[in-house]
Structure 1
Amino acid sequence: MLRKIGQVFENLGNYLRSPQIFSLFVVFALTVVVFGINFYFAPTLLAVVTFLVFIAIAFIVTNGYLMLAKLSREIEAKNTEFQTAIRNLKDGIIIYDPDFKILNLNQAAEEITETRAEEVVGKKITPQSINDPKLKIITQVLFPTLALAATDLSKSSWPQTVRIETANPPLKLYTVLDRLTDERKKTTGFIKVVRDETRERDIVESKGEFVSVAAHQLRTPLTALNWSLEDLNNNLSDKPELQEKLKTSSGLTERMIKIVNDLLEAAKIEEGKFGYKFEDTELSQFINKIISYVEPIATGYGISVRFNDGKQKYGVRIDPDRLGMVLSNILDNAIRYNTKGGSVTVSLEETQNRGRFIKIKVSDTGIGIPEEDLNQIFEKFHRSQNAIQAEPNGSGLGLYIAKNIVKRHGGEIGVESALGRGTTFWLTLPLDKALVPEKGMVYEE
């Protein structure tokens, strides 16, 4: 109880110290002065009536000023909380007005841009500011086109996401810019979040270089080993039991070579060196060609492959080699993780999603994917437990590579599955060539 009473008096004290209370004291003083004049010069009844009117006015004004004082204190408290939150964020925060005058800068932003808030707050940053050594980094953050490299990752007009690289000092920054608007949706300023990814991306690049070198070193001896096994197999026609063992060894070696190749392809994707050669292609003819490549494998597994829409004609802009990798990988999985005597069905479906798209569906009657693995199926090195049991040898990179290739074509890829009943992988491709991105990026999620 005493604590509540103390809180009431503390709040009252805060209100009395508010700037708005000064006006309240003025109103009360005028009320007393007017009452005194009326009481002295006017009849008593008129003086009392006037006094009561002024008291009523004073009460209304008092209530208004107290509410205003309370609101001001709440706004001040919220502003303090906001400033504290911004100050303690690990990401840099830069707030500036439409004229690029810096309004706020937190400690993380100070460290990233190598500036101090008191040096830049209130200062207008222009492209010419890059000539000032103290403002060089913050100018590149606010004007990414001035940086050594800038990659636009935005999926819409707002917020704007850009990766920035600077030369001196060498920084790799991830920035997100959004607008600050008033109640009329008028832009009053901008807030930019800046994350320093220099160390993390250097580690990723070093890891990619190591994987690339190691994979190259492994591929040469594995290829030589495979050739030797094939040569031995050809020279042992009179010893079928050894030929069978050599065939098994050769198959394992080929799987190892595929894993190494997957590692190399994933490294190229992350380095931005995957390389694409787009051309106009008739989709059904392209799919029929890919199916013809996997049919011998399907026959060996006792699986039938059907293409339901082989006569439909759809013109798409694709890289046949890269998209061929995607379909071959999906079809190969549909065959290898199927049941004896099962089937694989390929179908096409036109959809409307941000424009005209064609959906390619590959459905199988195989072992299915556990529900808990569906959200991770496109991540690097992820393989479901039942897939490992069915086929121990695999890199877990095929679907990660597939997702990046499909995204680079302007499409999406997904999966639907029921454990023990089969799986359907689908991917979309834009029928409008303008929807194919001009440049690609790495899709980790």
Structure 2
Amino acid sequence: MLRSLLFWKLFLWAFGLVALAAIAMSPGARARWGLPADPDGYASSALLVGGGALGLAALAISHVVRPVLALGRAARSIGQGDYQQRAYVSNNDELGQMAESLNQLSHELGAQLSELREGNQQQATVLGGMIEGVIAIDNRERILFANAAAGRLFGFLPPRVEGRPLLEVVRHHALHEAVAATLTSQLPQRVEIDWEGDEAFALSVQVTPLPGEPCPGVVTVLHDVTELRRLETIRQDFLANVSHELKTPLSSIKAYTETLLNGAIDDTENRGRFLQRIEEQADRLNNLIQDMLSLARIESAQQALHFTAVGVAQIVAACLEDYTPQAQSKQIDLAIVPGDASLAVKADPEGLRVILNNLIDNAIKYTPEGGRVRVSWRGEGEAGEMVAIEVEDTGIGIPKSKLPRVFERFYRVDRARSREMGGTGLGLSIVKHLTQSFGGRVSVRSESQTGSTFSVHLQRA
């Protein structure tokens, strides 16, 4: 269109110049101006003047048209997103200045777009790498953005939920009410919700309004506090259990002491029995405190562990020698199932002995008279890189429903029986944490009234 318009302008300008030249060279005009008549050269002069005028007009128009066409091409390319495009104009007039301005605009737009893309990429990387879920919601409660963590929490693909209503994607009325309250009041809201889905978890939700009037939307940050709640429950249970475990022996010591002070100390027949009970409860209290301190040191990694290659056969034999008198007093057959005498594990010798002592002690305590306790070991794994040490008994066993909790602190399958036998409720917890500190794991197989088998799996040295 531009080329066509310029063509006709050029044609009209040239035609006008030729017409003027023809009139100027006519005999009447020459006579009027006092010039001699030249009828023979009239036509040639008119053509010469017209041609010259046409050439000058074309040159002048070309000087204007070429820069304008270059500016048009550059403007179209920039409009299509090519910010590397430049308009090359050699004019020193207003068109040249316009070309310089257009080139500067293209450069600045390209730089700003690069900064914007880099900022968006950084923002997407940060939001995508966050542990907390983030959901941006507009004032119509439609999802503008959701990161990967939010998708994992609620089970959706973030790109597919953009533009959909929040309540349609996350069906939880407490969350919906918090978002609505923030949009209405423009004040941050903080709530805790329990999500019941394929996997139950607890969330701490912070809803913050976006700046603007009226409020254009909110940002919702979701923090998974399931583990914190579990730890808080463990802490509360631990304090309650410690209080109860300490209260029982202290109450007995206080009662026997008061009885002696009230005159029983002169009772030669019973005072010895009272003093013996005080000693028993004091020993129980001491064992409990020692086990608690040991467990605390293991959990906090304050207990120094010296890892070395420990021969399994030697450590098992030493432990059985310590517990043979206790087993004989209950007529329990305590024996070793011979295994590979060359097997060794990577562990702290004293720590491994504590593990086996606790397992063998429990096996003897909970096995009736005439029962059997066996200790064995074997290599395991495709390359034999692990060693399994097992303590098997024919005792009272553990119900399947209670197996997952036997390694918890102060957990007892039969509380009355455990206290009667002098247990602190911390032995198996010490076994678990020591084994984990060695880079291994512990497991148990058992059924009620059929005995139990505790297995310690450690790295082979």
TMscore range, shorter length = 0.3 to 0.5
Alignment TM-score, normalising by the size of structure 1:
0.45
Structure with bigger gyration radius:
2
